[in-house]
Chain A
Amino acid sequence: MSVKKVLTGNHAVSYGAMVSRVQVISAYPITPQTQVVELLSEMVADGLLKAIFVNVESEHSAMSACVSASAAGARAFTATSAQGLALMHEMLHWAAGDRLPIVLADINRAMAPPWTIWTDQNDSLSQRDTGWMQVYVESNQEAFDSIILAYKVAEQIYLPCMVVLDAFVLSHTSEPIEIYDQEKIDEFLPPYKPMVTIEPGKPIGYGALAGPDTYMEFRYKMQKAMEKAVSVFEKEGKLFGEMFGRTYDLVEPYMLDDAEYVIVTVGAVTSTARVAIQELRKKGEKVGLLKLRVVRPFPFEKLRNILKGKKKVAIIDRNISFGHHGIFYEEIKSALYPLQDRPIVYGYIAGLGGRDVTVGDIIGIYEDMKKRETLDEAIWRGVKL
């Protein structure tokens, strides 16, 4: 029988890992992530979770331990933030290149300097091209659910998955969470079967040398796996809905059917945007919301199907690629390019380093988009000019 608990986003992630029956956890503390592994270490110590908790001296080693554990056949988990994720960078490539379905919770924290601990997406998006899947969540319940789903998908396509949630807005904010019946979770998520079995006495090299004659083929296989992951995410999200009552897709439309204008959000700002949309709808504005949940693999077809024929789209980026624009803006805009009836797309940079993005801000973005006539790019919202 499922139970409800009031949990912070961080603890929702810990519970997600616990019910996924992770076997090896290796982590290094960093605000705002620390509570995730703190609670997991207590769960291990209390015998609630049969796992090995490996204390390490850095995030690089944390991911190294996860890589080894996963290669050896264990379900491995870690969590980190910002500089910690950056320090893992090299091993993130190893995890993906070795095709190991590790799950990592990244509590979005802006990159220093200047020193900061508050949310934005530049830490996780700096790791966009490592071959990890990335799921951005809107709520603590979604964080909990997404950990389970991440393992389910990762262990089918053999690529690691990052579950990303906003610092403090989610990580340190409590919400009621439904923890499903463990038997049902076990049914949904069977034990991990590694792609390659390591046996004593039968030595093999993981990540062995591939010369110019084979390297490209391994990369091609990774890309094919990512492409396949789109349908696996969709399939497993539906099954999750059937079993637990919450269905997940790679994108989630909100009041979009008759909308002429669309706001696209990623992460916790989505919840704020829902309120803004409701208010705008009350005023008779034909506006809807599109939540982008899974950004790797990138759901090209789904985005095109939803956004084709719309008048204008405003994308809120809690990130910036310096010298370019907001990263989601660039990605969505380029995804829409092949459409004949593609909408005009505007990109809004907002909420960097944890600055609040309010309902008023989002209504302001909508009004700005509606009246804007030129093809401006990288519009900074709320910056003190």
Chain B
Amino acid sequence: MDIKPIIVNSLNDLPEAPVSQGVTLVKKTGTWKNVRPVTVSRSAPCENACPLRIRIPDFINFLTTNSDAESAALEIIKWNPFPTITGRLCPAKCEVGCNRNKYDDKISIKELERFLGDLYLDKKSIDIKEKKHERVAILGGSVSGMAASYILLKEGFEVHLFLKGNETFEDIRGKVPEEILGKELKILQNAGLRLNVNTSAKISELQKEFKYIFVSSSSYPQMVSIEDPKTGKTNFEGAFSSKEDQDISRTIKNAIGVAIYIASKASGKEYKDEEKLPRVVSYKEIIEDYFNHENAVKEINELEDAIKEASRCFSCGTCNSCGNCYVFCPDSAVKWVNNLPEFDYDYCKGCGICVTECPRGILELIPEK
């Protein structure tokens, strides 16, 4: 039907019976509003607490919306190269912050991460961005050295790993199954990691061959001293090192940060500090009415368990396409585009029902200019 106004000048312009001649869309009722709903960027307490800043609601949404474990695992790996390791050893600060603690019981995020990491391990590979000519030496096979290797391989460097003995992941041996550590190493080797065992490498010698050197501070505690923890610069030109921590996620995060600094220095790009996450969604912004009490799944062995546990997630600050805004809008002014809400401000009157009914605090009313 044409969206054009019906002008009535005489009786003849009207039908005999009161049937619609056009559509009421000609009346842009959106002009009545003095506030408008907008989608705002918010973060969940879990992702805020995670040193690696894993977008936890995002990976969980892959499970809940499509039962897609592969995409969920890839979403984790985007932020954390070793979910198999953190899923076992990290102190899970994400779970401490989880808003669901205030409702019944936290989401088993760490167990989900472990399950997904293990599940995807056989398919996992490093997607190399662009081959570079620079060679990098990694001294020491601790988790920080392995994480730095992972990032630098991904960035396209020729990475040489020098070990004192013949063991990689030396600082976590015995804490993670051997089979898994073996597979993680294999993945790095498949991406081109060159392993040098039983070496007694010295920085001064390596400097001749390698423009960049990364020193694992637990493997070689006295070798360098870190002058700038952010960039990992040390007292040696071209040598970098990252701080290691009780929290293994923090250790990995620091190593990744330094590796990215090396990569940006090598390509002449400006190194950018990580952006801060937006404001955290507090528990009082979650609308409890939309959730049932469900016991947490503490041990996850099957995809079914993972989906069940994922479905408990409030998805704080992340739209999981629940559609409440779309369903409740009394003016059909919320459109559903690519499974996400979009506001038609021509007809939105700013009533705010969408904001009130969003269970996860993603929508906000802002004043009209």
* Contact indicator A218/B24 (Cβ below 8 Å): no
The answer to whether A208 touches B11, judged by C-beta atoms less than 8 angstroms apart, is no
Among B1, B8, B16, B24, the residue within 8 A (CB) of A221 is B16
User: Chain B 1-42, CB within 8 Å of chain A: the 1/0 string?
Assistant: 100000010010011111110001000000000000000000
The number of chain A residues touching the other chain, given as a range, is 20 to 34
**B20, A221: Cβ atoms closer than 8 Å:** no
Residue of A nearest to B1 (CB): A203
A97 is contacted by which of B15, B18, B24 (Cβ under 8 Å)? B18
| Chain B binder among A127-135, A209-217, A286-294 | A209-217
Cα(A346)–Cα(B20), bound, Å: 48
Interface of A: prevailing SS: loop
CB under 8 Å from chain A, chain B span 22-72: 24
Q: Which of B209-242 contact A (CB under 8 A)?
A: none
Instruction: State which of B1, B8, B17, B20 has its C-beta within 8 Å of the C-beta of A217.
Output: B8
**What are the residues of chain B within 8 A of A220 when measuring CB–CB?**
11
Contact with A along B241-252 (1 / 0, CB 8 A): 000000000000
Q: Which residues of B contact A213 (CB under 8 A)?
A: 8
Residue contact B16 to A99, C-beta cutoff 8 Å: yes
Q: Cβ of A77 < 8 Å from any Cβ of B?
A: no
B-contact 0/1 string along A203-244, CB 8 Å cutoff: 111111110011001101100010000000000000000000
- Asked whether any CB of chain B lies closer than 8 Å to the CB of A112, the reply is no
**CB of A100, distance to nearest CB on chain B (Å):** 8
Question: Binary interface profile of A, 305-325, with partner B (CB < 8 Å = 1, else 0)?
Answer: 000000000000000000000
> Judging by beta carbons under 8 Å apart, are B19 and A206 in contact?
yes
Name, among B11, B15, B16, B18, the residue most crowded by chain A CB atoms within 10 Å (CB to CB).
B18
Residues of B within 8 A of A207 (CB): 18-19
Is A98 located at the chain interface by the 8 A CB criterion? yes
Contacts of A205 in B (CB 8 A): 19-20
Chain A residue at minimum C-beta to C-beta distance from B15: A196
Q: Which residues of A contact B19 (CB under 8 A)?
A: 196, 204-208
- A98 and B16 form a contact (CB under 8 A): no
Residues of A within 8 A of B14 (CB): 214, 217-218, 221
Chain A residues whose C-beta falls within 8 Å of the C-beta of B16 in the assembled complex: 99, 158, 195, 221, 225
* Closest Cβ–Cβ distance, residue B286 to chain A (whole Å): 39
CA distance in complex: A158, B19 (Å): 14
Closest B residue, CB atoms, query A205: B20
Residue of B nearest to A194 (CB): B17
Which residues of A (82-124) have their CB < 8 Å from a CB of B? 97-100
**Across the interface, which residues of A come within 8 angstroms of B24, CB to CB?**
209
- Flag if B8 contacts A208 (CB, 8 Å): no
Chain B residue with the shortest CB-CB distance to A215: B18
Query: In the complex, what distance in Å separates the CA atom of A53 from the CA atom of B336?
Result: 41
Which residues of B have CB within 8 Å of A225? 16
* Chain B residues with CB below 8 A from A158, complex form: 16-17
Q: Check A196 against B8 for contact (C-beta < 8 Å).
A: no
The digit string for B113-142, where 1 denotes a CB below 8 A from any CB of A, is 000000000000000000000000000000
Residue on A with the closest CB to B14? A217
B319 to chain A, nearest CB (A): 31
Contacts of B1 in A (CB 8 A): 203
Cα distance A214–B14 in the bound complex, in angstroms: 8
Tell whether, in the assembled complex, residue B20 and residue A218 are in contact, meaning their CB atoms are under 8 Å apart.
no
Chain B residues, CB < 8 A from A206: 17-20
Closest A residue, CB atoms, query B6: A214
A residues near B, CB below 8 A? 97-100, 158, 195-196, 203-210, 213-214, 217-218, 220-221, 225
Task: State the 10 A-B residue pairs at the shortest beta-carbon distance, nearest first.
Answer: A205-B20, A99-B17, A208-B20, A204-B20, A196-B19, A204-B19, A217-B14, A218-B18, A214-B8, A195-B17
Binding site for A on B (CB under 8 A): 1, 8, 11, 14-20, 24
15 extra interchain contacts, Cβ-Cβ under 8 A, other than A205-B19, A221-B16?
A: A97-B18, A98-B17, A99-B18, A204-B19, A206-B17, A206-B19, A206-B20, A207-B18, A208-B19, A210-B18, A213-B8, A214-B8, A217-B11, A218-B14, A225-B16
Provide 25 A-B residue pairs closer than 8 Å at the C-beta atoms, listed in order of the A residue.
A97-B18, A98-B17, A98-B18, A99-B18, A100-B17, A195-B16, A195-B17, A196-B15, A203-B1, A204-B20, A205-B19, A205-B20, A206-B17, A206-B18, A206-B20, A208-B20, A209-B24, A213-B8, A214-B8, A217-B8, A217-B11, A217-B14, A218-B14, A220-B11, A221-B16
